[in-house]
């Protein structure tokens, strides 16, 4: 074994127990004591090490997306999009790229049931030849807010009361009553959509607007959509109670069992595209994460397929330590001025450095699978063996050079510093369109769920009135039917 190339791996397990230093442990069931009944000795190195590792084996829980399940597979290009992007992993039909996916619930704790009403995370990490590309999305195509400065408040309002540790409807109804733009996401959340039957029957969305770039710098706005080939399925409230009461990890088990049996889950990747020159022609801001792009105006275009054909080897290594970052892009794909997107490119990496440490990208599940090199040396838990004498750039003693230039957007940016909302809010029309697209029984279920939440004793008449105003502006009949259910006077 070459000690300079060897990396810790279960492939090199010894046939007997050892300390973390590799020394053999001849008794792993009894502490070292003074006599057979005497006090335990501090010199029992293995005992101290074993206890110390155990008390530290839980890393901080994710603030959001704590409950998750992962699987590995590949992405295969099925349609030529080289006229839109120079991204290497999309270069031609037939190209395959390894990847890992993490599905999750957003609000609730790591041990919570997977049947709770909650948005779901749908995050994909592509291990491309030009570095990692992360699409860090959800199963809902929009978000509650369009500005990331409000994100901590949204999550705190949705999480349990800090005094009681109970999730209470009055808190999120109070907060979101200040955000009329949240209506569309609220409709998805309280619709049947809010409880997917499992992860295999769940759609995924990049949510943000990305930019696709060709080699000569031509840019196109883009949204990513994942469609399961087996279709979408949801659990109604009564079904969720039964399923969750039977197995609180039902979705994780379903995913693992399907892959283990060879019934590999598959999703088709579609994109919507828009010419940036056309963005001002719409009655909404296409970079607004509280809005969808109507498919009749921006049809779905097929790109490829994702197949999950391998279960993870270890839950901690490949789920708990799996870390995504919307800032992880590759040449040919770029950010837009979407306020949420811009801020998440910083926030996610910052979160991972706090939760996992500054060298979290050296962990095998997060490390790129292509050759890479930089001068990011040292720091906590740096386990990358290095023997360079030069740790700066540039240097005449080190032949490393800058990579070939990659395209970036060329648009000219100008304006004064502002802290304002976007000009085109249009908070209600898309929510109304979605509500009217549902059959009557589905509308009734949404109204019942919202009325039940609004019946929380701490939801004041003022808060109810604000929501009635919002829902009435989305759809007159929605406001009237909800008012009747709440025993209030319709506002329109």
Looking at the structure, tell me whether residues 119 and 257 fall in a common domain. Answer: yes
- Judge whether 33 lies within some domain: no
User: Is residue 348 marked as binding?
Assistant: yes
Give, in degrees to the nearest 5, the angle at Cα 227 between 225 and 231. Answer: 155
pLDDT digits (tens, 9 = 90+) for 350-364: 999 999 999 999 999
Is 200 domain-assigned? Answer: yes
Which region among 119-123, 233-237, 366-370 has the lowest average model confidence (pLDDT)?
366-370
More confident position, 21 or 44: 44
Q: Are residues 352 and 443 in the same domain?
A: no
Residue located via tokens 């070939």: 404
In a domain, 37, yes or no: no
Say whether pLDDT at 293 is over 60: yes
Q: Does 320 lie in the same domain as 453?
A: no
Are both 329 and 458 inside the same structural domain?
no
- What is the set of active-site residues? 65, 138
Mean pLDDT, residues 410-421: 84
Q: How far apart are the first and last CA of the chain?
A: 78
Last residue of a domain, one of 317, 339, 362: 362
Closest C-alpha to 61, from 321, 312, 379, 366? 321
Tokens at residue 48, please?
Answer: 């101290």
Given a cut of 80, is residue 318 above it in pLDDT?
Answer: yes
- Domain containing residue 439: 428-486
* Same domain flag for 129 and 227: yes
Same domain, 146 and 228: yes
Q: Is the pLDDT of residue 402 over 50?
A: yes
Q: Are residues 201 and 346 in the same domain?
A: yes
- Report if residue 229 sits inside a domain: yes
Least confident of 3-7, 63-67, 259-263: 3-7
Instruction: Report the percent of the chain where pLDDT is more than 70.
Output: 98
pLDDT over threshold 80, residue 12: no
Identify whether residues 206 and 305 lie together within a single domain: yes
Are both 250 and 329 inside the same structural domain?
A: yes
Q: What is the pLDDT of residues 49-65, one digit of tens each?
A: 887 877 787 889 999 99
Instruction: Tell whether 383 is covered by a domain.
Output: no
Last residue of a domain, one of 339, 362, 385: 362
pTM: 0.93
- Cβ atoms of 299 and 238 within 8 Å: the answer is no
For residues 213 and 105, state if they share a domain: yes
The whole-number average pLDDT for the span 159-174 is 96
Going by their DSSP bridges, the two strands 333-334 and 96-105 should be labelled as: unpaired
Encode pLDDT of 361-375 as tens digits. 999 999 999 888 887
Summary mean pLDDT of the chain: 92
pLDDT at 485 over 70: yes
The CATH number that applies at residue 150 is: 2.40.180.10
| Domain final position from 343, 362, 381 | 362
Looking at the fold, whether 472 and 356 belong to one and the same domain comes out as no
Report if residue 46 sits inside a domain.
no
Could you write out the DSSP letters of every residue in 329-379? --TTEE--S-HHHHHHHHHHHHHHHHHT-TTGGGSTTTS-SS--------S
Is a pLDDT exceeding 70 seen at residue 7?
no
Structural domain contains residue 107: yes
Q: What is the pLDDT of residue 391?
A: 85
Residue 333 lies inside a defined structural domain of this protein: yes
State whether 339 and 437 are in the same domain. Answer: no
* Number of domain units in the chain: 2
**Averaged pLDDT for residues 415-441:** 93
Percentage of the chain modeled with pLDDT above 90: 74
């Amino acid at each position: 074994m070459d000690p300079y190339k060897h990396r810790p791996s279960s492939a090199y397990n010894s046939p007997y127990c050892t300390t973390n230093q590799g020394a053999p442990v001849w008794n792993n069931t009894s502490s070292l004591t003074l006599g057979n009944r005497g006090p335990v000795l501090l010199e029992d190195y293995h005992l101290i090490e074993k206890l110390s590792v155990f008390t530290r084996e839980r890393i901080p829980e994710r603030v959001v997306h704590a409950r998750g399940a992962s699987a590995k597979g590949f992405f295969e290009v099925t349609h030529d999009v080289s006229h839109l992007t120079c991204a290497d992993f999309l270069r031609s039909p037939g190209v395959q790229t390894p990847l890992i996916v993490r599905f999750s619930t957003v609000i609730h704790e790591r041990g919570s049931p997977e049947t709770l009403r909650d948005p779901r995370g749908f995050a994909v990490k592509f291990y491309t030849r030009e570095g990692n590309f992360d699409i860090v999305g959800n199963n809902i195509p929009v978000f509650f807010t369009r500005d990331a400065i409000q994100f901590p408040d949204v999550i705190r309002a949705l999480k349990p009361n800090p005094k009681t540790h109970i999730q209470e409807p009055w808190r999120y109804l109070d907060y979101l009553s200040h955000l009329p733009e949240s209506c569309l996401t609220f409709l998805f959340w309280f619709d049947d959509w809010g409880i997917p039957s499992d992860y295999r029957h769940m759609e995924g969305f990049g949510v943000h607007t990305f930019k696709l770039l060709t080699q000569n710098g031509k840019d196109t706005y883009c949204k990513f959509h994942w469609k399961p080939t087996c279709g979408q399925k949801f659990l109604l409230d009564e079904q969720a109670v039964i399923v969750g009461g039977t197995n609180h990890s039902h979705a994780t088990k379903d995913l693992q069992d399907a892959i283990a049996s060879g019934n590999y889950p598959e999703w088709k990747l579609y994109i919507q595209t828009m010419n940036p020159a056309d963005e001002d022609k719409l009655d909404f801001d296409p970079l607004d994460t509280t809005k969808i792009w109507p498919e009749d105006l921006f049809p779905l275009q097929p790109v490829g397929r994702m197949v999950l054909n391998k279960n993870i080897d270890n839950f901690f290594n490949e789920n708990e330590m799996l870390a995504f970052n919307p800032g992880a892009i590759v040449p040919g794909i770029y950010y837009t001025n979407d306020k949420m997107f811009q801020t998440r490119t910083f926030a996610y990496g910052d979160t991972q450095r706090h939760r996992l440490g500054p060298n979290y990208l050296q962990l095998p599940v997060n490390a790129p699978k292509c050759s890479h090199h930089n001068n990011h040396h040292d720091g906590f838990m740096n386990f990358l063996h290095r023997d360079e004498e030069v740790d700066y750039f540039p240097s005449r003693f080190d032949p490393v050079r800058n990579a070939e230039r990659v395209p970036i957007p060329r648009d000219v940016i100008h304006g004064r510093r502002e802290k304002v909302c976007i000009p085109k809010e249009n908070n209600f029309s898309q929510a109304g369109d979605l509500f009217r697209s549902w059959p009557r029984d589905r509308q009734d279920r949404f109204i019942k769920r919202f009325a039940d939440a609004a019946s929380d004793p701490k939801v004041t008449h003022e808060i109810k009135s604000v929501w009635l105003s919002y829902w009435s502006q989305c759809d007159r009949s929605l406001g009237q039917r909800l008012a009747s259910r709440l025993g209030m006077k319709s506002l329109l």
